[in-house]
């Protein structure tokens, strides 16, 4: 058991070594010019991989072309250059391709190793394997407790906790939740290993996680029936090359009503299509202003968006690689895959099957079926008041953080400082990426996190007085 005392050396602890945490560490290593200790704490897997980019089958692809996946805003070719210098990799055409996600984890891990090697004298990074389960203020430092008994002190802590897992399905019988035939962690590679080729499956949810499952089942020659059930029964759209488009109106200047914005966007997309363009160009043109649009909406409009428009937004904004959708079309054409819109009513384990009852959308009646296995692909549970996460529970109990009122994340200020229960911004506790969804909406993808990470690193070093004027590269 390690119990480090109060630090003499300025220390920044980062909880979570996925893309967000690793990228903050990389920028700290590159920018710090004086003595600094960085603690990177991860409960599972190697740094850089996180949930999205861990070891997994090669058919699990990035949902963005390689050319747009650099970790650095100021060096847009960095990922493509890294790919070209990676052994055993085709050097041609990588920029246009959707690369395996596990390669992206290797890229971030390598970049972190390079940053450690090139750091200024006195600037160091320690990796701690373990789950952070508690955090308290002690004197003027923060004291982190890990599940392996270690205690670590830091001047600042960055919570880079990523996407929480899905909530358990409310329709599931309590007995089913501990039954191995119910897969609650759809992102875990071991979950798919357990599936036998003949099994009939129910996948609940129809977003990008479901597509990962479908392409994986297709590639492994799955023979059983696959049923996909979600509220709307919509799959993500396919990526196609769509040239940049300048909107003919300023969305920020519109009245803050969803209906007005939606009407203008539909008209704009129709006009673009009439000129033989693509609606994707219109959706992509919104990206730079999405955060400002979200922040300008009154709460009631945000709630309306979450209730009615969210599924439509998700399938247009979060698109999938063409090869993934080809696999899905093959499964459907064979009659092996059924996609349904409806609401799950009950999942009941029986002797050797699970009985499924759903109510189909549009008064189309009940749907009853028996399957061998149920996979929960409903996406992250973002209501932090309901998470089964010891550190979050402890921070809420200590009133050091506050869940966002829409149930999308944690309250933060513009720098990512966490707000306490009284709404005061912490000078020591920060976050970035997915937990900021309530404030920013568009904050979970590489494109946003690569902007937040250097800004947060700079802010922390300024607070500690450790930054020279030099840029991070
Ligand atoms: C399956 C999937 C695929 C995606 N694909 C893409 C894509 O192709 N392109 C794109 O731009 N975005 C993609 N995303 C979006 C993704 O959110 C970001 O790209 C990015 O991976 C987020 O990184 P993160 O570090 O914030 O989160 P994560 O990758 O979730 O990492 C968080 C890390 O924190 C650790 N952790 C959490 N709590 C603790 C604790 N208490 N103690 C210690 N460690 C802890 C976790 O183990 C995890 O490793 C994808 C997301 C998912 C889930």
Give CA–CA dist 14/53, Å, rounded.
Answer: 18
Residue with CA nearest ligand 1 atom 8: 62
> Which residues on neighbouring strands pair with residue 144, listed in sequence order?
135, 152
Instruction: Tell me the average pLDDT across 2-13.
Output: 73
Output the residue whose Cα is nearest ligand 1's atom 46: 16
- Give the span between the Cα atoms of 463 and 412, in whole angstroms: 17
Both tokens of residue 371?
């399957």
* 341-367 tens-digit pLDDT: 999 999 999 989 999 999 999 989 999
Residue identifier of the C-alpha nearest atom 13 of ligand 1: 445
The lowest-confidence range among 64-68, 170-174, 325-329 is: 170-174
Amino acid 473: pLDDT: 53
- Expressed in angstroms and rounded, the spacing between residue 51 Cα and the centre of ligand 1 is 5
Pocket lined around ligand 1, Cβ cut-off 6 Å = 15-21, 41-45, 50-52, 62-64, 101, 131-132, 160-163, 187, 391, 433-434, 444-446
Centroid of ligand 1 to alpha carbon of 66 (angstroms): 18
Q: Tell me: the pLDDT tens digits for 175-202?
A: 999 999 999 988 887 788 889 999 999 9
Q: Cα torsion at 154, 159, 165, 169 (round to 10°)?
A: 100
CA of 60 to the centre of ligand 1 (A): 15
> Which pLDDT belongs to residue 183?
92
The model's pTM is 0.95
- Ligand 1 atom nearest to CA at 130: 43
**CATH: 3.50.30.30, 3.30.470.30, 3.40.50.9100, 3.50.50.60. Which one for 11-60+100-165+382-464?**
3.50.50.60
Nearest to 375 by CA among 121, 135, 205: 205
Rounded-to-integer distance, Cα 139 and Cα 411, Å = 25
Which residue's CA is the nearest one to ligand 1's atom 29? 50
- By alpha-carbon position, which residue is closest to atom 17 of ligand 1? 444
Ligand 1 atom with least separation from CA of 446: 11
* CA of residue 18 to ligand 1 center, whole Å: 5
What does the pLDDT look like over 396-453, one tens digit per residue?
Answer: 999 999 999 999 999 999 999 999 999 999 999 999 999 999 999 999 999 999 999 9
Confidence of residue 2 (pLDDT cuts 50, 70, 90): very low
Q: Round to whole Å and give the CA distance between 198 and 225.
A: 8
Atom 34 of ligand 1: nearest residue by CA position: 16
Residue 101 CA, closest ligand 1 atom number? 8
> pLDDT tens digits, residue range 65-113?
999 999 999 999 999 999 998 876 665 668 889 999 999 999 999 999 9
Nearest ligand 1 atom, CA 162: 27
Instruction: Give the residue among 81, 136, 131 at the shortest CA–CA distance from 111.
Output: 81
Among all chains, which residue has been given the structure tokens 């003595």?
A: 35
Q: Are 167 and 386 in contact, with CB atoms under 8 Å apart?
A: yes
Distances (CA, A) of 10 to 7, 123, 139, 413, 416: 7, 10, 14, 23, 20
Q: What is the pLDDT of residue 5?
A: 56
Radius of gyration, CA atoms only, the chain: 23
The predicted-structure confidence for 269-323, as pLDDT tens digits, reads as follows 999 999 999 999 999 999 999 999 999 999 999 999 999 999 999 999 999 999 9
Q: Encode 63-85: b = buried (16+ Cβ within 10 Å), e = exposed.
A: bbbbeebbbbeeeeebbbebbee
Helix, strand, or coil (residue 43): coil
Contacts of 316 (CB under 8 A, 6+ apart): 237, 279, 280, 283
CA of 253 to the centre of ligand 1 (A): 34
Judged by DSSP in three states, 360 sits in strand
What lies within 8 Å, CB to CB, of 276 at 6+ separation is none
Domain 174-237+320-376, CATH: 3.50.50.60
To test ligand 1's pocket by mutation, which of 13, 17, 18, 97 has the most ligand atoms within 8 angstroms of CB? 18
Residue 122 pLDDT > 90, yes or no? yes
Tell me the pLDDT band of 6, cut-offs 50, 70 and 90.
low
Q: State the number of CA atoms in the 13 A half-sphere of 344 facing the CB.
A: 23
Burial of 166-188, coded b for 16+ CB within 10 Å and e otherwise, reads bbbbebbeeebeeeebbbbebbb
Looking at ligand 1, which atom is closest to the CA of residue 23?
25
Query: Atom of ligand 1 at shortest distance to CA of 434?
Result: 26
CATH 3.50.50.60 location in the chain: 11-60+100-165+382-464, 174-237+320-376
Q: Give pLDDT tens digits for 196-252.
A: 999 999 999 999 999 999 999 999 999 999 999 999 999 999 999 899 999 999 999
State which of 51, 104, 287 you would mutate to test the pocket of ligand 1, scoring each by most atoms of that ligand within 8 A of its C-beta. Answer: 51
Residue 46 makes CB contacts below 8 A (sequence gap 6+) with 17, 105, 109
Q: How many CB atoms within 10 Å of residue 25? A: 28
Best residue among 25, 63, 105, 163 to mutate for probing ligand 1's pocket (most ligand atoms within 8 Å of CB) is 163
Q: Whose CA is nearest to atom 14 of ligand 1?
A: 445
pLDDT given at position 256 = 87
pLDDT at 3 over 50: no
Which residue has a Cα nearest atom 24 of ligand 1?
Answer: 162
Burial 425-449 (b: 16+ CB within 10 A, else e): bbebbbbbbbbbbbbbbbbbbbbbb
Contact 205, 376 (CB under 8 A): yes
Tell me the two tokens of residue 297: 């909406």
Nearest residue to 155 via CA among 3, 39, 47: 39
Contacts of 139 (CB under 8 A, 6+ apart): 6
Count Cβ atoms below 10 Å from residue 254 Cβ, excluding itself.
14
Atom of ligand 1 nearest to the CA of 62: 8
**Both tokens assigned to 349:** 């384990």
């Amino acid at each position: 058991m390690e119990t480090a005392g109060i630090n003499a050396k300025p220390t920044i602890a980062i909880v979570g070594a996925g893309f967000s945490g690793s990228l903050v560490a990389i920028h700290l290593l590159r920018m710090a010019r004086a003595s600094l200790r960085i603690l990177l704490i991860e409960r599972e897997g190697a740094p850089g991989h996180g949930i999205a980019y861990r070891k997994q089958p090669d058919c699990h692809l990035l949902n963005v072309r390689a050319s747009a996946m650099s970790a650095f805003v100021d060096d847009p070719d960095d990922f493509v250059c890294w790919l070209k210098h990676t052994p055993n990799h085709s050097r041609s055409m990588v920029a246009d391709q959707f690369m395996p996600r596990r390669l992206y984890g290797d890229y971030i891990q390598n970049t972190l190793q390079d940053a450690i090697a090139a750091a200024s004298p006195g600037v160091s990074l320690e990796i701690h394997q373990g789950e952070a389960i508690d955090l308290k203020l002690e004197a003027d430092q923060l004291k982190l407790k890990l599940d392996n008994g270690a205690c670590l002190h830091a001047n600042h802590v960055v919570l880079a906790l990523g996407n929480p897992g899905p909530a358990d399905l409310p329709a599931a019988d309590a007995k089913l939740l501990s039954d191995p035939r119910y897969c609650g962690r759809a992102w875990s590679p071991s979950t798919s290993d357990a599936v036998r080729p003949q099994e009939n499956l129910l996948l609940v949810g129809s977003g990008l996680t479901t597509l990962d499952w479908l392409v994986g089942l297709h590639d492994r020659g799955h023979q059983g029936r696959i049923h996909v059930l979600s509220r709307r029964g919509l799959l993500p759209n396919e990526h196609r090359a769509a040239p940049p488009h300048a909107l003919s109106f300023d969305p920020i200047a519109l009245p803050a009503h969803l209906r007005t914005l939606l009407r203008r966007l539909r008209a704009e997309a129709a006009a673009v299509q009439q000129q033989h363009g693509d609606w994707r160009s219109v959706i992509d043109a919104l990206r730079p202003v999405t955060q400002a649009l979200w922040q300008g909406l009154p709460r009631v409009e945000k709630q309306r968006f979450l209730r009615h428009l969210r599924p439509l937004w998700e399938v247009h904004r979060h698109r999938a690689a063409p090869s993934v959708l080809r696999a899905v079309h093959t499964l459907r054409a064979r009659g092996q895959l059924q996609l349904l819109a409806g609401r799950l009513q009950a999942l009941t384990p029986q002797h050797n099957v699970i009985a499924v009852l759903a109510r189909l959308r549009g008064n189309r009646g009940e749907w009853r079926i028996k399957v061998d296995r149920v996979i929960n692909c409903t996406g992250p549970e973002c209501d932090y008041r309901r998470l089964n996460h010891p550190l979050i529970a402890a921070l809420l109990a200590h009133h050091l953080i506050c869940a966002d009122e829409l149930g999308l994340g944690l309250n933060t200020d513009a720098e990512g400082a966490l707000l306490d229960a009284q709404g005061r911004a912490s000078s020591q506790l920060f976050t970035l990426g997915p937990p900021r969804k309530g404030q920013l909406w568009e904050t979970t993808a590489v494109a946003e996190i690569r902007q937040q990470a250097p800004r947060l690193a700079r802010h922390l070093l300024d607070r500690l007085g450790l930054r020279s004027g030099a840029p991070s590269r």
